[in-house]
Structure 1
Amino acid sequence: MTHLPYIAAAYGMTISLAVLLGTNAALRLRRARARLATIDRPARTGRGTER
């Protein structure tokens, strides 16, 4: 009896979970940076922008 299917399944699940978590973190980081850029952008209301 070989243990190859169990080992292959364990490695496959580990790699797929790592890819899933990495992708999720990258997408959350991109969304957070976009929100921060929106917050940090100066408001162009016309008040106090005269030169």
Structure 2
Amino acid sequence: MPALDVIDEVWSADFTGDPNIVHVYISAVRKKIDIPFGRNTIETVRGAGYRVNARA
């Protein structure tokens, strides 16, 4: 899901903040669910956004 789609779904279409907020939150979630367990649950898809790898 592209970052702007995430912003529209989570904050709303009229969000006026920095779109980098999505990257900040994805990084925080990765630190909580991926790094401690040695997984790559949230994957970055260049040019498309993010996806969840259920097999991780």
Q: TM-score range by the shorter chain?
A: 0.3 to 0.5
Q: Whose radius of gyration is greater, 1 or 2?
A: 1
* Higher normalized contact order (CA 8 Å, seq sep 6+, divided by chain length): 2
Q: TM-score of the superposition, structure 1-length normalised?
A: 0.32
Q: By percentage of residues, which structure has more strand?
A: 2
Q: TM-score of the superposition, structure 2-length normalised?
A: 0.30
